[in-house]
Structure 1
Amino acid sequence: MAESLADAIARAGSAVELLRNAPARPTIFPVTPEYSNWRSEQQSWRSTVALLDQSHHMTDLFISGPDALRLLADVGVNSFAKFAVDNAKQFIAVNHEGYLIGDAILFYLAENEFDLVGHQMVIDWVQFHGETGDYDVTFERDGNSIVRAGDPKLFRFELQGPNALALMETVTGAPVPPTKFFHMATFTIDGLTVRSLRHGMAGQPGFELFGPWEQGERVRSALVRHGDEFGLVLVGSKAYSSANLESAWVPSPLPAIFSGDGTEEYRRWLPAAAAGSLAGSFTSDRIEDYYVTPYDLGYGRSVAFDHDFIGREALERHAQNPRRQKVTLVWNDEDVAAAIGSLMKPGLPAKYIDLPKARYGLYQVDRVLADGRDVGISHDVGYITNEQVFASLASIENDFAAPGTEVTVVWGEEPNSRKPVVEPHRQVEMRATVQPAPYSSFARENYRKDT
């Protein structure tokens, strides 16, 4: 029998000790790393049109049955009052203390039929409550291509960029009907019926196309065949993994499952292999110090107190006095260059900075300082070719969140953890400037246009 998360924490002595030295790597995208080079591929969703393959790295949880919507409403902080077939939403869940479990995209496929798509944190949470609660629901789980035997159930392609609309009209041979953000439409591509979500991962116009796996290559071939006219660029996993830095989505904040009321049974249910790994300069013996609220990540607009859900009472208290807000931190280019350059000088170097994505654990949590004291945490980090900046997404105390505020990010671990991806290194301080999230003005002004 697989070790449970509860047993693994007991064996390690604490949740922090377990996660700090866990071998789990950052999210793996099991697709071609680069079709050309990640810099040009990043530029494509800003200048022409990018084609990204989302079929392999995410988990699908298909939820069906007469109580499916009730389960989702009981677990999710979102409003479901007007949720209807052919709509989608960013589904968000919290624990009983109002701290974030995670988020995923919820597709309303048909009456009593849903597909919850994303990283496993919130998917595990929903499945647990469905299996242990009084719900008439059925689950079909399609894990990502790292854990699944065989092909995915669905293909999922993302088209995004200023030429995405024109390419879609050429491929389908018809005008694209006006579709609101996170609403779905149906198209015909090469004689096949394809469903689409109006979506854009990097804040650009986009379509997320999906359908039965066996039809995927035919759909992809049609897109590529017509794509030359519009400057279509195939995007690999390196560039793809960095797209969120432009749209300001934090992909894997540490889920608030390792302590707290109402989570004991869940930790006994969840396999230890799902725990993930913790990286970064922020250290505390209290796992609770790593938790965030939905308001810390800019999800307040999705919280709706129009129904009862797990953690509602606690989340209402958080809503009365949000302490932090999401920002972009633009790191000082001289400090970044010096850290990279330390690899070519005698002595212990700084922690290696990978490009375009520099995080080295599933949950990246780095210290952010102002006037020598901690004022927040830095999450996902990497290089944005379209802005020519090295930046991170962060949750910062309100008093330090104004654009232009100067802060410091501490990069590297002290002491060095035993994670396989961590080499001997020294901590360094990176000067950074607070900027809006999303950092791209186009993304800020257009990401949710026509909602």
Structure 2
Amino acid sequence: MADRSLQTALDAAQDPVGMLQQAGGRWVWPQEVKREYTNWMDELRAARETCVLADLSHHQMDQVIEGPDSFDLLKKLCTNSFEGFDVGKAKQAILCNPDGKFIGDGVLQRLEEQKFVMSGKIPAAHWLAYHAETGEYDVSETIYPKSSKTEDDPHFYTYQVQGPNALDVMQEIVEESLTDIPFFNFKRITIAGEEVRALRHGMAGEIGFELQGPYEHADLIKDVILEAGQEYDIQRLGTRAYEPLSVKLGWVTTHVPAIYTSEEMAAYREWLSASSYEGTYSIAGSYHSDDIRDYYVSPLDIGYDHMVEFDHEFIGREALEAEAADPGRTRVTLVWDDEDAIGIFASLFDDDTLPHKSIDLPRDRWGGHHDKVLKDGEVVGISKSFAYSYSDREMISICSIDREYSEPGTEVTFVWGEEGGQSPNPTVEAHSQTEISATVAPSPYLDDSR
């Protein structure tokens, strides 16, 4: 895939954890989308009370997969069932390594009998591209990178219309009814004379739509939506307000891809570039292990049990079947203690000690955060994506926790900040470590009316 492979970089580093701790660490926001169009609080309020338009055209990759063997390839790589996965349907595709550990995921849509598109972060697409290139499959695939990785325009525009008024706004601009589209199914509709693929889902707990079409139609479609949405108090959603939505939904957008170890994965590491996402992924947080495998998760660890079906052969099936018989962890929400959360910010005004590790509200730009969660002094889980929930006036995070502590109402603590307040990552400021009390709550952490 590149002159210098990921395997070469790992051989030089001799320490996968150390290599990833020194990586850049924070997301690069798409410059084409504003951080705020009004202010993040008003935009988040609109997502919960009226309607918002989010432009995702620039922050994700799209991978088009087609050919006679495309279905068989996807079925071999994904833990999901493919029974009834007909044209017009979508799923959150989960891809694992042979040990059943999570590599990546993406929103997969079946466009035609032999054509699919997967959208999201790139680890899943790389794993698929590798198998398409090296396996005996009659299939082609093309990855269209996110805007920060290319000088080209996106292949598709991707707009989300979300919030309680989303359906009303959409019905203003299309003639056909949209109420008959089942959740995570799509329908080809017409907006301003152009064909649009409308996927029904929801990032705000309400019926919402993700719209895709050729990028040359992007401005036309956006303008039509915004004009129709004026009656329904639509607001544009900046990147600052969009990012917290996934935390309440229980979707951890970044994980350590389980590809850095095992001889079985060596050829894949040789195929990957040292400058790839996988080679520059960044690990941060209070949890530390010298063994990168301790950062891996399985789909069961992160609450994706319902997306693992043993009705077909897939990579990682044997390991996941064994784990499913006695699963270790699951996904919950941690609701941070108000006073402890306030203490992070109050420490900025303490002259006697270093402040605690800073947080940029409503969600920090950290990708791979791993904070150890404690019960009676023992590590029982890892706190991952964290955000301020404006609608609840709470700090929350997604946690992978031992199942015996997953009951809502269970009280735990987690450690905030790196050990010793230092990190080899230059983007982490010197700080003092602290403990945060938290209460276990369900994940997703919102009423779901989708």
Alignment TM-score > 0.5, same fold: yes
The answer on 1:368 being equivalent to 2:370 is: no
- In structure 1, how many angstroms separate the alpha carbons of the residues matched to 2:30 and 2:394? 23
Q: Which of 384, 394, 397 is the equivalent residue of 1:392?
A: 397
Give CA deviations for 1:305-354 in whole Å, capped at 9, x if unaligned: 11111111111011111111100000111111111111122121111111
- In structure 2, how many angstroms separate the alpha carbons of the residues matched to 1:9 and 1:193? 46
Deviation at 1:261, TM superposition (A): 4.7
- In structure 2, how many angstroms separate the alpha carbons of the residues matched to 1:409 and 1:281? 9
Q: Which of 426, 436, 445 is the equivalent residue of 2:442?
A: 436
User: What is residue 19 of structure 2 aligned with on the other side?
Assistant: 18
Q: Secondary structure at the match of 1:263?
A: helix
User: What is residue 73 of structure 1 aligned with on the other side?
Assistant: 75
User: What is residue 319 of structure 1 aligned with on the other side?
Assistant: 324
Structure 1 residues 2 and 354 mapped into 2: Cα distance closer, same or farther (>3 Å)?
farther
Q: Secondary structure at the match of 1:329?
A: strand
Q: Secondary structure at the match of 2:300?
A: helix
Give TM-score, length-normalised by structure 1. 0.96
Matches within 5 A, 1:253-332: 253-273=255-275, 274-275=277-278, 276-332=281-337
- In structure 1, how many angstroms separate the alpha carbons of the residues matched to 2:325 and 2:86? 30
Check conservation: 1:359, 1:380, Cα contact below 8 A. no
Give CA deviations for 1:270-306 in whole Å, capped at 9, x if unaligned: 1122221111110001111111111111111111111
Number of aligned residue pairs = 443
Runs of 4+ residues deviating >6 angstroms = none
The percent of aligned pairs where both chains have the same amino acid is: 42
User: What is residue 8 of structure 2 aligned with on the other side?
Assistant: 7
- In structure 2, how many angstroms separate the alpha carbons of the residues matched to 1:402 and 1:358? 27
Give CA deviations for 1:151-200 in whole Å, capped at 9, x if unaligned: 11110100011101111111114432411111011222112111100011
Give CA deviations for 1:213-249 in whole Å, capped at 9, x if unaligned: 0111101100111111001010000011111012111
Task: Provide structure 2 residue ranges, at least 5 long, that are not aligned to the other structure.
Answer: none
Report the residue type matching 2:90 in the other structure.
A
Structure 1 residues 247 and 202 mapped into 2: Cα distance closer, same or farther (>3 Å)?
farther
The answer on 1:410 being equivalent to 2:415 is: yes
- In structure 1, how many angstroms separate the alpha carbons of the residues matched to 2:179 and 2:411? 45
Q: Which of 36, 56, 59 is the equivalent residue of 2:58?
A: 56
Deviation at 1:49, TM superposition (A): 0.7
Give TM-score, length-normalised by structure 2. 0.96
Task: Provide structure 1 residue ranges, at least 5 long, that are not aligned to the other structure.
Answer: none
User: What is residue 44 of structure 1 aligned with on the other side?
Assistant: 46
Two-structure CA RMSD over aligned residues (Å): 1.3
- In structure 1, how many angstroms separate the alpha carbons of the residues matched to 2:177 and 2:409? 43
Matches within 5 A, 1:33-432: 33-273=35-275, 274-275=277-278, 276-346=281-351, 347-358=353-364, 360=366, 362-415=367-420, 416-432=422-438
Report the residue type matching 1:157 in the other structure.
Y
Check conservation: 1:202, 1:245, Cα contact below 8 A. no
Check conservation: 1:97, 1:260, Cα contact below 8 A. no
Q: Secondary structure at the match of 1:338?
A: helix
Report the residue type matching 2:407 in the other structure.
A
- In structure 1, how many angstroms separate the alpha carbons of the residues matched to 2:433 and 2:365? 15
Deviation at 1:420, TM superposition (A): 2.8
Q: Secondary structure at the match of 1:301?
A: helix
- In structure 2, how many angstroms separate the alpha carbons of the residues matched to 1:45 and 1:204? 9
Deviation at 1:120, TM superposition (A): 0.8
